[in-house]
Structure 1
Amino acid sequence: MAPSTPAWADGPLPLIQTPSATKDTNDHPAHYIANEMAWAHNAMLRGLNAIYLQAPHVQQGDAADFLFFIASWSAWVLHHHTIEEKQMFPGFEAVPGVAPGSLSHNVEQHHEFSEGLSGLQKYATATTADSYSGAHVQKLVDGFSPILRQHLADEIDTLWAMDSVAANTEHSKKLLNIYQQCEAEAGKQDKSVVPPMVLGLCDKTFEGGNDWPKMPMGSAYFVHYLFARKHSKAWRFLPCDTFGKPRPLAFLGNNGAGK
């Protein structure tokens, strides 16, 4: 990947335009699901961009925290795709009106990048600060990031196409129920890792302003002042604060630039 200018987490891998930027996404559960997934996928892309851009500039004294950030991001994305393969996609395809096998291409894409993504996670968990190499991190990311980015974009169209299920029926409600069950499963991950990391990957200014993810009032403060404390040094590498406010990437050497 070639760094974008200015260097911030909206590149070098380009973010995905969310369907709600141009369309009504509340008219069918499939459209709502596709839109929610686009927001989540952009958070993933910001995380990977933040890793890629900062990797060469992280020095030994900060490497352990950066490796924890990489390991946390990788585990989150791997977990996301495991839920899709084992629970979400089979559930969707069992709903009458969704063509059998219509999500198989997305699973095939998982297999194309999963080895590289797992390799990044293994590197982050097995490497010591003394042996950290930013160049190697970038090499690992280059190995799988193009197909990952393609997958994250392609999946939105696949999910949108589930509007083949008639709207305002028990079948369309089933789509939403399956998605919400998977959201609940994802919510079981380590509260001291996933919530502070994901909130720090959400840009509240994106596409003119947004409120994704929707959370109960005060939840972000709870995450910021309680959950984020345990691994606070790792969250220095996030492109946004807990409240979705973009900030300059902290580790860009002498070429630092920010949103």
Structure 2
Amino acid sequence: MAALYSDAPLSLISTPHSQTGKTDDFTIDASHMALVHNAIINGYNSIYQQAPSVKPTDYPDFISYSLAWHDMVTSHHDSEEEVFFPSLDAATGIQGLMDGDKAEHAAFHDGMANFKTYLTTCAAAPGSFRATELLHLMDAFGSPLHQHLLHEPAKLASLAKYPINIRAISEETAKHTMDHTSTVNLLPMLLFNLDLEFENGKWKDFPPVPALMRWVMVNVIAWWRAGWWRFGSCGADGRRVKLLALREEYASG
């Protein structure tokens, strides 16, 4: 049964708060980052596990879902490099403070670009999609991506020694992401891979948006491209689901 969930090939990461019990702004902000990183991991795993079982009639939706995942990851990291990292340099007075994280981004950049190029080609001719090729491309960048997603929250938590307003910097970065990314792709991609039961439901109110707004995100905004989000690792209620392409009824339907 475990294989029907998005728990492989990349493992989820625990939050800095669960590791240390600290509640300072840096630890909480780093924990929020870990939650976003887990949504990225869930998305990666959902693509990797389902690719071999997707029916040809569903290739267009699956390809679009996979491209939406790519856009979520790249927008997240672009905002870090364009806003988050420079702001940390300026606030601490230390140039190159996050150069190690930038180097980690570079380690999987080309692999991610190849992933997008292949899927974009397939989007124009869905019948050309081959799961073996997609998995080969994902294997090429999966490990360095995972290492970065694991390392960065801990690095952020360690910055508590600096007297800076991490909340303000993170909010500015999040705004930049929203301003430069398709809302109708980014928000559903995030929410349909954000496990609200993670760590015993401690983070069920993340992201901090009103309940009505969350409902609109999942049930209205996501409705437009519902065929894509069928492949997500979580349902509209934020609970993990059996991956669509691995369900018995999908294979026999």
TM-score, with structure 2 as normaliser? 0.91
Q: Does residue 178 of structure 1 match 2:174? A: no
Q: Does residue 116 of structure 1 match 2:111? A: yes
Q: 1 CA distance for matches of 2:118 and 2:73? A: 15
Q: How does 1:41-190 map to 2 (within 5 A)?
A: 41-96=37-92, 99-127=94-122, 128-166=125-163, 172-173=164-165, 175-188=166-179, 189-190=181-182
**Which of 206, 212, 220 is matched with 2:198 structurally?**
206
Q: Cα offset for 1:21?
A: 1.6
Relative distance call for 1:76 and 1:141 in structure 2 (3 A) is: same
Amino acid at match of 1:136: E
Tell me which residue corresponds to 1:17: 14
Q: 1 CA distance for matches of 2:150 and 2:189? A: 22
Q: Cα offset for 1:93?
A: 1.4
Count of aligned residue pairs for this structure pair: 245
Q: Does residue 196 of structure 1 match 2:188? A: yes
Q: Does residue 7 of structure 1 match 2:1? A: no
Amino acid at match of 1:190: S
Q: Is the 8 A contact 2:219 2:236 kept in 1?
A: no
Q: Is the 8 A contact 1:88 1:182 kept in 2?
A: yes
Q: Is the 8 A contact 1:8 1:248 kept in 2?
A: yes
List gaps (5 residues or longer) in structure 1: 167-171
Q: Cα offset for 1:191?
A: 2.2
Q: Is the 8 A contact 2:104 2:144 kept in 1?
A: yes
Q: 2 CA distance for matches of 1:216 and 1:95? A: 31
Relative distance call for 1:181 and 1:52 in structure 2 (3 A) is: same
Q: 1 CA distance for matches of 2:14 and 2:184? A: 30
Q: Does residue 36 of structure 1 match 2:32? A: yes
Q: How does 1:222-233 map to 2 (within 5 A)?
A: 222-233=216-227
Q: Is the 8 A contact 1:54 1:251 kept in 2?
A: yes
Q: Is the 8 A contact 2:76 2:177 kept in 1?
A: yes
Q: 2 CA distance for matches of 1:193 and 1:208? A: 28
The structure with higher relative contact order (CA 8 Å, sep 6+) is 2
Q: Cα offset for 1:51?
A: 0.3
Q: 2 CA distance for matches of 1:25 and 1:132? A: 47
Q: Is the 8 A contact 1:66 1:237 kept in 2?
A: yes
Q: Does residue 239 of structure 1 match 2:230? A: no
CA RMSD of aligned residues (A): 1.9
Q: Is the 8 A contact 2:71 2:186 kept in 1?
A: no
Amino acid at match of 1:187: M
Task: Considering fraction of residues, name the structure with more helix.
Answer: 2
TM-score, with structure 1 as normaliser? 0.89
